[in-house]
Structure 1
Amino acid sequence: MLTYLWLWYSPDLMAFKLWASQASHHPVVIIGVMLTMAITLAIGLPGSIGLWLIAPFYPPLIATLMLTISSVVGALGAYQLAARAGRRWNPSGLTLKVMQMLEQRSDLMTQCALRVLPGFPHSVINFAAGLRNISIKTFLLAATLGLAVKWVVYSSAIYGALEAIEEEDALQFDVVLPLIALALLLLIGAWFRRRVDAARKS
Structure 2
Amino acid sequence: MSRKAAASFLALLVLAALFWAGRQSLEELDPLRLLEALAQLRDRWWLPLAFIAAYAALCAVGVPGTVPTLLAGATWGPLWGTLYNVIGSNLGAGAAFWVGRSLGRDWMERFFGDALAGLERRLEKNGFQVILSLRLIPIFPFNMINFAAGLSSVRYSDYAAASLLGMLPATFIYTYLADSLLKGAIQGREAFGRVAVAGALLLGLSLLPRFYRRFIGAGGDHARR
- TM-score of the superposition, structure 1-length normalised? 0.79
**Which residue, 25, 28, 49 being the options, matches 1:11?**
28
Measured after TM superposition, the shift of residue 179 of structure 1 is 1.7
3-state SS of the aligned residue for 1:57?
helix
Taking only the aligned residue pairs, the percentage that are identical comes to 24
Q: Check the 8 A contact 2:131/2:163 in 1, yes or no.
A: yes
Partner of 1:167: 187
Partner of 2:178: 158
Partner of 1:35: 53
Residues 39-188 of structure 1 correspond to what in structure 2 (within 5 A)? 39-86=57-104, 88-89=106-107, 91=109, 92-108=113-129, 110-118=130-138, 120-169=140-189, 170-172=191-193, 174-188=194-208
C-alpha separation between the residues in 1 aligned to 2:55 and 2:75?
16
Q: Which runs of 5+ in 1 are unaligned?
A: 196-202
Measured after TM superposition, the shift of residue 68 of structure 1 is 0.5
Letter matched to residue 18 of structure 1: E
Q: CA RMSD in A?
A: 3.0
The answer to which structure has the higher helix fraction is 2
User: May I ask how many residue pairs the two structures share in their alignment?
Assistant: 190
Q: Check the 8 A contact 1:72/1:140 in 2, yes or no.
A: yes
Change (3 A) 1:90 1:123: closer
Change (3 A) 1:37 1:118: same
Partner of 1:198: none
Letter matched to residue 143 of structure 2: S
- Answer with 1 or 2: which has the greater Rg: 2
Measured after TM superposition, the shift of residue 123 of structure 1 is 0.8
Letter matched to residue 115 of structure 2: L
Measured after TM superposition, the shift of residue 159 of structure 1 is 1.0
- TM-score of the superposition, structure 2-length normalised? 0.72
Q: Check the 8 A contact 2:100/2:108 in 1, yes or no.
A: no
C-alpha separation between the residues in 1 aligned to 2:117 and 2:183?
42
Measured after TM superposition, the shift of residue 141 of structure 1 is 0.6
C-alpha separation between the residues in 1 aligned to 2:116 and 2:139?
14
